Amino acid sequence: MWSNINLASIDTLQESMNHLPDQQRMRAFLAVSRHLNFRVAAESLHVAQPAVSRAIKTLEEELGFKLLERTTRRVELTPAGAAFAQQIEQAFGQIHQAVRVARMTAAGLAGTLVLGYSTLTVYGLISRGVVQFREEVPEADVSLYLMSSHEQLAAIGRGEIDVGLLLSAACDDSCQHQHLYRERLVVLVAKSDPIAKRTKLSMKDLREIPFVFGSFKRWGPFRSVVDSICLKSGFLPKVAEHGDDMPVLLRLVALRRGVTLFPASIVDSLPPDIVAIPLRDQHAALDVSIAWRNGQPLRLVEKFLDSLKSVAAQISPSR
């Protein structure tokens, strides 16, 4: 088989591959391949028709094969011409994409944004904020990591995440932070519990009712917020059980081991055996902030901040 190969032809092919055709000639050929009409192709390129004809002729000479079959009546692509047109169409598309990505990168609007978020923020702002950000900055990717508020602060300090969505009560001087929104709390109760029939509760109604919460180790800022809310109503919560993971916490509520407080954004995601009861107390709310590393934030972080602020502005403070 190898004895039948023309080594001179291989050398010619290799030589042609080392010298790429002129880009303007390829664009002229693409215009003709789309319209199969030299006059229309020339008009689309805003050049004279003879210039297009010369470009195609030179291109064929450079490549060493015919791209078009021309008669007085029509123009057709050769099989090689059709394959060439398809490939360079894709190549030009990739070049345009490369230029766009490079420009976005130069402007700081491309790459991966690493985002930490807490369980208490996942049901409200985070998903809508990420969707809006991806729509506004399509060249950027987002990596999401579930962390407690304190874990986010430490990860920001170490440079492991770019930005965190956490309770304002956890924020300190170790990073920059900005308040985003306030969200009302609701009481989560087992549907089989007699108090589940109530349409509203006050914090004082919960004085003698056991609670289930996450541990102080992972839910410390939230527990501090809840303790402060309860103290304003004259008591500290009686904690019957702990469950750090949200599914475990909800299961404890469903089993009537106790009630718990949670941001109202969870309402649409509750299982059927748990109900959410609004609280009359205006102070029964928590504040959510966004945090990032000290110093001037990256453009990508700034853009994400803008997206989150836009979504946060739509959240009703009375929800």
CA separation (Å) from 220 to 16, 49, 148, 263?
A: 69, 75, 9, 16
C-alpha 112/C-alpha 124 separation (Å) is: 22
Non-local CB neighbours of 172 within 8 Å, separated by 6+ positions: 153
Mean pLDDT value of segment 116-127: 84
* pLDDT tens digit sequence for 139-180: 788 889 999 999 999 999 888 898 999 999 999 888 889 898
Q: What percent of the chain has pLDDT over 70?
A: 87
* pLDDT at 5 exceeding the cut of 50: no
pLDDT of residue 4: 45
CB of 304 closer than 8 Å to CB of 297: no
Provide the β-strand partners of residue 141: 112
Name the amino acid, one letter, at 4: N
* pLDDT tens digit sequence for 306-319: 888 888 777 544 44
Other Cβ atoms less than 10 A from the Cβ of 146: the count is 14
Non-local CB neighbours of 115 within 8 Å, separated by 6+ positions: 126, 130, 142, 143, 144, 145, 161, 162, 163, 164, 165, 304
pLDDT of residue 110: 60
* pLDDT tens digit sequence for 94-109: 776 666 566 656 655 6
pLDDT of residue 319: 45
* pLDDT tens digit sequence for 12-25: 444 544 566 788 88
pLDDT of residue 1: 40
* Upper half-sphere CA count for residue 134 (Cβ side, 13 Å): 10
pLDDT of residue 108: 58
CB of 145 closer than 8 Å to CB of 115: yes
Computed over every residue of the chain, the mean pLDDT equals 85
pLDDT of residue 228: 95
* pLDDT at 203 exceeding the cut of 70: yes
pLDDT of residue 305: 85
